[in-house]
Amino acid sequence: MTATLRNVAIIAHVDHGKTTLIDVLLRSSGSFRTGQQVAERAMDSNDLERERGITILAKVTSLVWNDARINIVDTPGHADFGGEVERILNMVDGAILLVDAAEGPMPQTKFVLSKALAIGLKPIVVINKIDKPDARPDFVLDAVFDLFAALDATEEQLDFPVMYGSAKQGWMSDSPDGSQESIGPLLDKVLEHVPAPEVEEGPFRLLATTLDADPFLGRILTGRVRSGTVKPGQSVKALSREGDVVESFRISKVLAFRGLERQPVDSGEAGDIVSLAGMTEATVSNTICDPSITEPMFAQPIDPPTLSMTFRINDGPLAGTEGDKVQSRVIRDRLMREAEGNVALRVTDSDDKDAYEVAGRGELQLGILIENMRREGFELTIGKPRVVFRTGPDGERLEPIEEVIVDVDDEHTGAVIEKLASRKGEMLEMRPSGGGRTRLRFNVPTRGLIGYQPELLSDTRGTAIMNRVFHAYEPHRGDIVGRRTGVLLSIGQGDAVAFALFNLQDRGSMIVSPGDKVYTGMIVGEHTRGNDLEVNVLKGKQLTNMRASGKDEAIALVPPMRLSLERALSYISDDELVEVTPKSIRLRKAILDPNDRKKAERSKASAA
């Protein structure tokens, strides 16, 4: 069985074509029947994955090529979802490293490749998008080799096979100008270069790698069978990383991957990737094994969270009007369920009984969680993102530093360097990247990158591309100046009126439109000065029977600032919150009552 089985992961930087390549592999291997309607990027099944064009959850598919079964794992390319990548690599025996023929290796390429090399995988390098007009395959191949060397690859790993092609056009070849007929040569290379899975002796053992839920089967754990076989009805137990028994249970279903579907099978053989159902408490990184086993399998340690946010109940005046899940108990259950399946996430109770601290890899990962929750009907208020500090061996304060690569037009390099320097960034490299563009490489504190993305797009007229990945914990780099402007606060509750908004436009930019619901303490705009200002956005024009001598002025409103969820989270200050409901995203002060707010400010000032 194992001689005709291969387990391989596709790893790459975000948007380098992993999911598109899997589409083509499935079509070419005959996994879809003739005429079957299959969505583009079929592996991106989550709504948010389709909307944003990124892979968030690692997924497994399977195909048959030349009488051999190949299990393929599609991994996320964004470093915020690196916890998925680290676990997945333990299930496979080889990897396909996909690199864009124009962009070359990027920060996340370095991140996922370092994890693959560390556990001894020997990747096949595929230079994709060779059909791009600015493709430079020779330069990219040299850059990939340099990256392997920089990551301390072994002699065997440095002797990697190389394929060229275009996943979108459906072909791969051994050379840039080779045959453009099919994707088959890549599958042949997988069978030739990726070893068959090693089978260990002894009874059944499996390391749980991913967790998901099925409305009919309940909890489902996926992993690779290391030894023995597993069948429905078999009695097993789950061991934690420390060796404690989590639970004993009977397996209700064994599922294997066949194309895009997960189908019940009579047994799971050693070396194969299968999903098991029947457990109630077992989770990711547990060892599912025969009752006679006492030692757990080694689970790869996960890089720690670097960013945290406070998730609170919505206690504003409009609470419960747009969502149906508002209780702290329901919010806590949902967060704990998320943390079970996502090992890169950490949820802890805070001093406030209605608030929870959620720590993760970055703004995008936490933003995806909030977006999923609001779509499920939750109402929340979220505090300002904060980095997770550490204490060094000598007692010094350490903070997370990220490696940032910015590709920008030559004319805008000065603005980018100036802004990142003011955010305590250290420039490491500046070199031309072709086509009148420059590639800048920095080490920047995570604190300095919160909210920088929209500013970068504004400074570069939308032409810059920024990629970032966690680098290391380093000594604290000092204070970084945050938002320099104050906000406009509503002094009453009701619906915003166009006449009032028109008369307040010279005070600052608005973030509400006429007819939007507002309440006391809610942020309705950005003040032009550094202090907060309370304004009345409910004041309508006085209607009398007195005739005006001239015509009334036409009300022409400047379009309001529309804040996305990520932009809103990075915009707020320490004393502000983002109110998230299924229909709205609002900004507000943590303390809504102006008198209570002044008392809190006075007590804070006296304490300081």
As annotated, the binding site for GTP includes 15-20, 128-131
Contact 246, 239 (CB under 8 A): yes
In 3D, which of 247, 364, 362 has the Cα closest to residue 304? 362
CB atoms within 10 A of CB 3: 9
- Residues in a beta bridge with 127: 99, 164
Could you give phi then psi for residue 572, rounded to 5 degrees?
A: -70, 155
Residue 95, Cβ density class (10 Å: 0-12 exposed, 13-18 middle, ≥19 buried): buried
Residue-wise over 119-136: b if at least 16 C-beta within 10 A, else e?
eebbbbbbbbbbeeeebb
Tokens of 578: 């983002």
- Dist. CA 187–CA 533, nearest whole Å: 64
Contacts within 8 Å (CB) and 24+ apart, 265-270? 266/231, 266/232, 267/229, 267/230, 267/231, 268/225, 268/229, 268/230, 268/231, 269/1, 269/2, 269/225, 269/229, 270/2, 270/197, 270/199, 270/200, 270/225, 270/226, 270/227, 270/228, 270/229
Contact 533, 489 (CB under 8 A): yes
Tracing tokens 């903070």 back to the chain, one arrives at 399
Angle at 139 between CA 138 and CA 141, to 5 degrees: 65
Contact 252, 277 (CB under 8 A): yes
- Residues in a beta bridge with 250: 235
- Dist. CA 421–CA 548, nearest whole Å: 56
Feature table: binding site: 15-20, 128-131
- Dist. CA 500–CA 516, nearest whole Å: 13
- Dist. CA 19–CA 21, nearest whole Å: 5
